Amino acid sequence: MKLLKEKLNIDFMGKRKLATIFSSILIIISIASLAIQGLNLGVDFTGGTLVEVGYDEVVELESIRSGLAASEFGEATVQYFGSASDVLIRIAPREGVNTAEISGLILKLLRSSGQAVEMRRVEFVGPQVGEELTEDGGLAMLYALLGILIYVALRFQMRFSIGAITALVHDVIITMGVFSVLQMNFDLTVLAALLAVIGYSLNDTIVVFDRIRENFHKMRKATPVEVMNASLNQTMSRTIMTSFTTLLVLTALFLVGGEIIHGFATALIIGVLIGTYSSIFVASPVTLALGISKEDLMAVEKEGADQESHI
């Protein structure tokens, strides 16, 4: 690690314009997708009934859709859940019909085709609860970002704080954008993953900022660009190892953790990759663009402090 730290001399700040263009493209695509087709919200947010069933053999989704279309559940959404014999059916909220009745009717309808079907799981969320979860989830993310803004401003300096928040917003928008573009299911587990991504990305950014502040005191004749490049190169070995080991665990979780936490693991994998990138090419360049200098990090000396020290 020490050898890697000494050898690295990458001009990260020299590539900040290219990084800005790349990030801008990703953010534009993400915002456009979120505005046009939105997120594929799960039952947690939309409300309704979720029914998971298992077949003894591979089943075609089209046959299930056609069977449901001919019944009172024509608006149901049908998709595979992990394998071609496991199926997830989502049904919008229905007044006057409870969850047990809906799941029973669905199971009876599926068995009418002559295939053996097993009920695996039934979940129900009322429309009012779904609306509250959507609002509370959004507020939780805003409160997290506000708290981070205050924390970084107090620990470092307001310019650092703005740089850190810019990187975090960048990470959240792009991660949500990927889910929107691919129309992956967005539920409470994915929202929890987004909050975890904020924490992970902030931790990486704080490490870099600590080194930048330290180097501003050590490298007194260096320019802000030189200080930031040196700091990023010095923390690169730590960044690579942390991201690599985290991705190993998340990849294992994605592959063998089961379909229920598939979205959670996917969001974290995307977030770790984007968060590592943003701590290098977003947080530091934004702080640099705001005009950070050595004087901003020096403690203000009180008038007469020199005289008092000689008394």
pLDDT at 74: 65
Q: What is the pLDDT of residues 98-153, one digit of tens each?
A: 666 777 777 777 777 777 788 888 777 665 555 676 677 778 778 877 887 787 77
pLDDT of residue 33: 94
Dihedral, CA of residue 191, residue 195, residue 201 and residue 207, to nearest 10: -170
CATH number belonging to the domain at 2-40+129-297, selected among 1.10.1060.10, 3.20.20.70, 1.20.1640.10, 1.10.10.350: 1.20.1640.10
**pTM (predicted TM-score):** 0.75
The pLDDT of residue 126: 63
Q: Which SS3 state, helix, strand or coil, does residue 255 take?
A: helix
- Check residue 311 and give its pLDDT: 41
pLDDT for res 211: 87
What is residue 3's predicted lDDT score, i.e. its pLDDT? 43
Provide the pLDDT for residue 306.
47
Architecture of domain 48-125: 2-Layer Sandwich (3.30)
pLDDT at 108: 78
With left for phi above 0 and alpha for psi between -120 and 50, is residue 240 left, alpha or beta? alpha
DSSP H stretches of helix in the chain: 2-7, 16-36, 43-46, 61-69, 99-111, 127-155, 158-182, 188-218, 224-256, 262-281, 283-289, 294-297, 305-310
Q: What is the pLDDT of residue 116?
A: 78
Assigned token pair, 252: 């294992």
Question: Can you say whether residue 50 is alpha, beta or left, with left for phi > 0 and alpha for psi between -120 and 50 degrees?
Answer: beta
Residue pLDDT tens, the chain, 311 long: 444 445 667 888 888 899 999 999 999 999 999 999 888 887 767 777 778 888 878 788 787 787 777 777 767 777 777 777 888 878 776 666 666 677 777 777 777 777 778 888 877 766 555 567 667 777 877 887 788 778 777 777 778 888 888 888 899 999 999 999 998 888 888 888 888 888 888 888 888 888 888 888 887 777 888 888 888 898 888 888 988 999 999 999 888 876 678 888 999 999 999 999 998 899 888 888 887 766 656 544 444 444 444 44
Instruction: Delimit the domains of the chain by residue range.
Output: 2-40+129-297, 48-125
CA distance 146 to 141: 9
